[in-house]
Structure 1
Amino acid sequence: MTAAQSLRTLPEPYLEYARLRREMPVFHDAEADAWIVSRFDDVRTVLRDHQHFSSRILAQDSFEIRSPVDGSVLPNEETLLASDPPRHDALRMHVGRLFAPERLAACEAAAHRELDRIVVRLVQGKRFEIVQDVCEPVVAAVLASAFGLESGWHACVAQWLQVSGHCNARSRPASLKADFDAMLDEIWRAAAHCPDAGLGIFMAACRRGEVDARHVLDLTVTLLKGGADTTTYLVGNVLALLAEQPCLVSDIRRDPALIPALIEASLRRDSPVQLTIRVTTADVELDGHRIPANSRVLLLLGSANRDEAVFGSEDDIHLGRREKSHLAFGAGPHRCPGVALARMQGRVIIQALTTRLPDFRLVPGNAREVDLRALRGFERMEAEFMALSR
């Protein structure tokens, strides 16, 4: 990675975001039938105020969670993503057990083991693809470890992640849904044999009547989809940033301890999740605007994280400068529960790519961005070793 290049081909949203922050930071979009919020302080206020801005609207795009015990369906508003406190707090308490320090350490060890295998395989070829050859195998190994499954399980998880792509609940084909249900059933049975780790802990709690089995499966789904997408888009966005500012590659090769700062800078600059949504529970005022009850409120995370009033207007990245808190992972009760896992995976993948592989370059024209307004990242990113490309 040497000469500066841009891998982006889709229109940038940031000029429009800047205009909204200047001219209409809170306004009602009649076409979308939603209130649009673009400034950092306003977005953070909404994210933190679950009493007036509910997450229940997120239930509209949820997976159907069916109990493996009696077949009953979990109401969408009771899922981790769509529930509000105090119900949400109780669910998050269980999530926290998956991300205890000892589990995170085991997940990082799994990531390093998988990267050892990946590096050996990659250097034997001329080209490789970042998402399929690097991100997906690492994410699968980490999730298998988080779930407390044996190492052989990550191949099954990787296969589902690869097939599922970025289908949402409305466009998901029936065959994919059947495959996914079958995989959940297999994970459920396998976890029963690991009662002291990951999902096995929750299954033991299920048998004691402390946890609903449907909530355990909901957590599994949330981690499978959210964890995979976030890490993949994070890595792709960091690599795109390094391609644009190649001097940063020298910085992190000289001092890998700067990689976490690079990741935070990329998260703020190009948030993998660009927007989220809430619904008002009562009439509420925001930035001088009266928003009626039951109104949809669209929060532009990608805009908030570029708010000049908070972060200044510089595009250049200074890794020695501490980044201010951003909203890439949200804020308030619904802040992403897998933050530590995503950051860890991003760190070990970027360090392996930039310090353990021979010089490589991202192939111009062979990167494909996610063509969804709500997400920013890459579905495909091809690389080649420079010594072999001459």
Structure 2
Amino acid sequence: MSDVDGLLTHLPEDPYPLYDVLRNKGRVLWLDGAQRWLVTGHEEALAVLRHPRMSSDRTRWDGYRPAPGYDRSAGMFTMDPPGHTRLRGLVQRAFTARVVEGLRPRIQQLVTEFLDAAEKRGEIDLIADFAGPLPAIVLAELLGIPSEGQLRYRRWATTMMGAIDPVSHATSSEQAAAGQRADDELTAYLGEIIALRRRDPRPDLISALLAAEESGQRLTGIELLEMCILLTVAGLETSVNLIGNGVGALLAHPAQLARLRDEPELLNSAIEELLRYDAPIQLSGRVPTEDIEIDGQTLRKGQMVGVVLGAANRDERAFTDPHELDLGRSPNNHVAFGRGIHFCLGAPLARIEGATAIGELVRRFPGLRPAGKPQRRTNPHVRGFTSLPVALR
């Protein structure tokens, strides 16, 4: 089981064959070495993610210890009701579908500008030159960060992304230290922006969060600051990896790439399939607050349960030919954005960014192809590229 235990410290370049091995051993499987459960079946993953007695609060885990040097485990994404209900209600009021849809023209403008610059060069690193900066700029502008601060904002957020590992604690001490410095600097900077918006509200998300009310309540100063940081990190992880993994999958499947080019009406379906096929977030943690039985196994109160979203999305019981990329797949009940009360708040924004970025890239560059060896991240919690060189002509 050493290879399986290793999933919690180092994600292989292609983890899906190992996920199949795991699922064949048990869809809800106890790992003695890691002292936790792994859930790899689709139906079982839904049961855990939707269960009202499955907590997202890592401190409820009997084996909990803060990550060395850097622990971003507080905030709405690791809270349970009623605190989570209150905070999410406040944020949703300021993060409406209308607000997200209103960002579409700006996203299109940014995509056009990035691809215009890329076309002149003929070759780009998809992550550094496109998938990375695009959602960072969108989030910065959404929050209300002025243009002169956006480069630092992107640098801080990227550093924090590389240091966060809330389930396995596989982050190195160097990464943890860098993440803590970036967190401190971003926290101080956002504190300044929040103070300015209290005095002078603008049409941005920070001002909207300051004004948001739900049942007569508001976000406290600490809650608002934490919310801005968590939206930053979670928003970037999802969108950057959706674009990177999606393009990587299309390059590995030329017939499907050609299909999308010939049938642009498949774009929305394609985004859902790319999310299923290579999910941006691979591992999500829960802790039972009482003994719970799933698939004949008793998950004890206080034990860690790792829901392997990437494995659930390749479950043959839920998807026909699950290892095939089929851009027209329907239905497609993937769990790439989670499920239940912690369903990804930024899913609509990620979908718009992913569809615009991938759709335009495919439409504009019929010669799109790999241009060098890609580099994968190895964090077990997320799946993405650190570098993906592509040729455009």
Which TM-score bucket, shorter chain as reference?
A: 0.7 to 0.9
1:161 equivalent to 2:162? Answer no
For residue 160 of structure 1, report the CA deviation from its aligned partner. 2.8
- Which one of the candidate residues 201, 222, 232 is aligned to 1:194? 201
For residue 54 of structure 1, report the CA deviation from its aligned partner. 0.7
C-alpha distance 383-350 of structure 1, shift in aligned 2 (>3 A):
same
C-alpha distance 282-146 of structure 1, shift in aligned 2 (>3 A):
same
8 Å Cα contact 1:106-1:145 kept in structure 2: no
- Structural mapping, 1:302-321, within 5 Å: 302-321=310-329
For residue 356 of structure 1, report the CA deviation from its aligned partner. 2.6
Q: Deviations over 1:338-386 (max 9, x none)?
A: 1101111101110121113463322231x11011222211111112233
SS in 2 for 1:309: coil
8 Å Cα contact 2:273-2:329 kept in structure 1: no
- Which one of the candidate residues 249, 252, 258 is aligned to 1:244? 252
How many residues align structurally?
364
- Structural mapping, 1:1-390, within 5 Å: 10-51=12-53, 53-57=54-58, 60=66, 79-149=75-145, 154-168=150-164, 171-173=176-178, 174-192=180-198, 193-205=200-212, 210-357=218-365, 359-365=367-373, 367-386=374-393
Match of 1:220, as an amino acid?
C
Match of 1:362, as an amino acid?
P
Q: Deviations over 1:98-136 (max 9, x none)?
A: 431331123222211212221221122132111121122
CA distance in structure 2 between the aligned counterparts of 1:205 and 1:264, rounded to whole angstroms = 31
Match of 1:276, as an amino acid?
S
C-alpha distance 355-190 of structure 1, shift in aligned 2 (>3 A):
farther
CA distance in structure 2 between the aligned counterparts of 1:31 and 1:64, rounded to whole angstroms = 23
SS in 2 for 1:333: helix
Q: Which residue of 2 aligns with 1:6?
A: none
Q: Deviations over 1:282-311 (max 9, x none)?
A: 122222222221111111111111111111
C-alpha distance 127-329 of structure 1, shift in aligned 2 (>3 A):
same
C-alpha distance 152-352 of structure 1, shift in aligned 2 (>3 A):
farther
* TM-score, structure 2 as length reference: 0.84
C-alpha distance 58-277 of structure 1, shift in aligned 2 (>3 A):
farther
Match of 1:56, as an amino acid?
D
For residue 336 of structure 1, report the CA deviation from its aligned partner. 0.8
CA distance in structure 1 between the aligned counterparts of 2:259 and 2:322, rounded to whole angstroms = 19
Q: Deviations over 1:216-266 (max 9, x none)?
A: 112211111111111111111111111111122222222322122111111
Match of 2:19, as an amino acid?
Y
8 Å Cα contact 1:273-1:375 kept in structure 2: yes
Match of 1:175, as an amino acid?
R
Query: Unaligned regions of 5+ residues in structure 1, if any?
Result: 1-8, 66-75
CA distance in structure 2 between the aligned counterparts of 1:218 and 1:92, rounded to whole angstroms = 13
CA distance in structure 2 between the aligned counterparts of 1:160 and 1:90, rounded to whole angstroms = 28
CA distance in structure 2 between the aligned counterparts of 1:165 and 1:46, rounded to whole angstroms = 25
CA distance in structure 1 between the aligned counterparts of 2:149 and 2:13, rounded to whole angstroms = 39
For residue 312 of structure 1, report the CA deviation from its aligned partner. 2.2
Aligned-residue RMSD, C-alpha: 2.6
CA distance in structure 1 between the aligned counterparts of 2:143 and 2:50, rounded to whole angstroms = 29
Percent identity between matched residues is 27
For residue 39 of structure 1, report the CA deviation from its aligned partner. 0.9
C-alpha distance 112-150 of structure 1, shift in aligned 2 (>3 A):
farther
For residue 151 of structure 1, report the CA deviation from its aligned partner. 5.6
Query: Unaligned regions of 5+ residues in structure 2, if any?
Result: 1-10, 61-65, 166-170
